[in-house]
C-alpha cells in the first residue's frame, strides 16, 4: 500500500514537472550580490550572470582582483572589496547595494575556505577561522540583506555548501562542521521565510578544480611542523607521508567547476529553483 502511494506521488510529480516546467526569469533590472568572486564558482557565476543581463554586484577578498574582474565584466557590474568576516565590510556592502536598489533579487553566499587536517592535528584557532568564513560570515550576510531580499516574493538566497555538508570524511572535520552548520541554517531559513516567498537553495558540489585546493600540501606540512613532539611520535612520520600521498592522489580527481556554475545559474534564474543541487 505504501509503495503504491509513493509510486503514485512520484508519477504525479513527474507529470507536473513535464506539463508545468520551470521558466527562467527576465534578468533586466534585477540585482544579484555574490561573495567570493576572486576565483572559482563566484568568479564564473559573476561572468555568466553579467552576460545574461543581470546587474551583478561582485564581492572580492583581494584588492588585486577588483580591477582585473572589473575589466572582464560589463559596465553594469560593480566589483568591490568584501571580507565577510568583518561586519564593517558587510555593512558597507549593504549601503552600496541599497544605493543601487531597494529590491535585491538574489544573494549568493559563495565565499569560503577549505583548510583542515586530522582532528588530533587541528588547533581550535583553525576551527574558529573556518567557521567564521564558511558559516558565521554567511549568517551575517543573510541577516544584513534580508530587508532588501524580502521586498518581493520570488527573491532568493543561494548558499554554497559541499558534499562535505552531508558526508563527513576524515581529515576535514573543520570544513565538514562548517558545511553541516550551513546546511542546517539554510533549511531553517527556508522554512521561516516561506511565508514571504523567499526561496532558499543549497549547492552541494563534489571535488572541483578551484583555488580552494591551492596550497593544501604546504598548509598540511605546516600543520604537521607545528605539532608537539608527542603528537608527531603518536602518529609517526610514515603515517604523515602516506596521508600526504593519499591527499595528492585525491586531488587528481577534481571536476570542471562550470557544472557548479550552471547549477548556480539555475538557482538564481529559475522560477522554481531546487532546494538542493548536487552537481
Of 31, 61, 175, 180, the active-site residue reads 175
Residue 101 has phi, psi (to 5 degrees) of -160, 155
With beta carbons less than 8 A apart as the criterion, state whether 258 and 209 touch.
no
The three grid cell numbers given for residue 8, joined into one nine-digit string: 503514485
CA distance 114 to 130: 8
* Residue whose C-alpha is closest to residue 217's, from 173, 174, 181, 251: 251
- Reported as type and span, the H/E element at residue 257 is none
C-alpha to C-alpha distances, 135 to 59, 86, 100, 152, nearest whole angstrom = 17, 13, 27, 26
Residue 113 has phi, psi (to 5 degrees) of -130, 155
175 is catalytic: yes
At CB < 8 A and 24+ separation, what contacts does 254-257 make? 254/207, 254/208, 254/209, 254/213, 255/206, 255/207, 255/208, 255/209, 256/208, 256/209, 257/40, 257/41, 257/44, 257/205, 257/208, 257/209, 257/210
With beta carbons less than 8 A apart as the criterion, state whether 81 and 89 touch.
yes
CA distance 45 to 259: 11
Active site residues: 175
Amino acid at each position: 500500500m505504501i509503495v503504491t502511494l509513493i509510486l503514485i506521488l512520484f508519477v504525479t510529480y513527474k507529470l507536473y514537472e513535464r506539463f508545468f516546467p520551470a521558466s527562467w526569469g527576465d534578468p533586466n533590472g534585477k540585482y544579484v550580490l555574490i561573495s567570493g568572486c576572486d576565483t572559482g564558482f563566484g568568479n564564473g557565476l559573476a561572468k555568466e550572470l553579467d552576460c545574461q543581463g543581470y546587474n551583478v554586484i561582485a564581492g572580492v577578498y583581494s584588492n588585486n582582483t577588483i580591477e582585473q574582474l572589473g575589466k572582464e565584466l560589463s559596465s553594469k557590474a560593480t566589483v568591490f572589496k568584501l571580507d565577510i568576516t568583518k561586519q564593517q565590510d558587510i555593512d558597507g556592502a549593504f549601503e552600496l547595494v541599497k544605493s543601487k536598489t531597494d529590491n535585491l533579487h538574489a544573494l549568493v553566499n559563495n565565499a569560503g575556505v577549505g583548510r583542515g587536517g586530522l582532528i588530533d592535528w587541528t588547533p581550535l584557532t583553525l576551527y574558529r577561522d573556518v567557521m567564521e568564513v564558511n558559516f558565521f560570515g554567511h549568517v551575517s550576510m543573510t541577516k544584513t540583506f534580508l530587508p532588501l531580499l524580502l521586498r518581493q516574493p520570488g527573491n532568493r538566497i543561494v548558499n554554497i555548501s559541499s558534499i562535505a555538508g552531508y558526508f563527513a570524511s576524515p581529515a576535514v572535520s573543520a570544513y565538514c562542521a562548517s558545511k553541516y552548520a550551513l546546511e542546517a541554517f539554510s533549511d531553517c531559513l527556508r522554512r521561516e521565510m516561506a511565508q514571504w516567498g523567499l526561496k532558499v537553495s543549497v549547492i552541494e558540489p563534489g571535488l572541483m578544480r578551484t583555488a580552494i585546493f591551492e596550497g593544501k600540501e604546504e598548509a598540511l606540512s605546516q600543520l604537521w611542523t607545528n605539532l608537539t613532539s608527542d603528537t608527531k611520535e603518536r602518529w609517526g612520520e610514515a603515517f604523515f607521508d602516506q596521508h600526504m600521498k593519499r591527499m595528492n592522489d585525491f586531488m587528481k580527481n577534481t571536476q570542471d567547476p562550470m557544472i557548479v556554475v550552471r547549477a548556480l545559474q539555475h538557482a538564481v534564474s529559475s522560477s522554481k529553483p531546487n532546494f538542493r543541487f548536487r552537481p
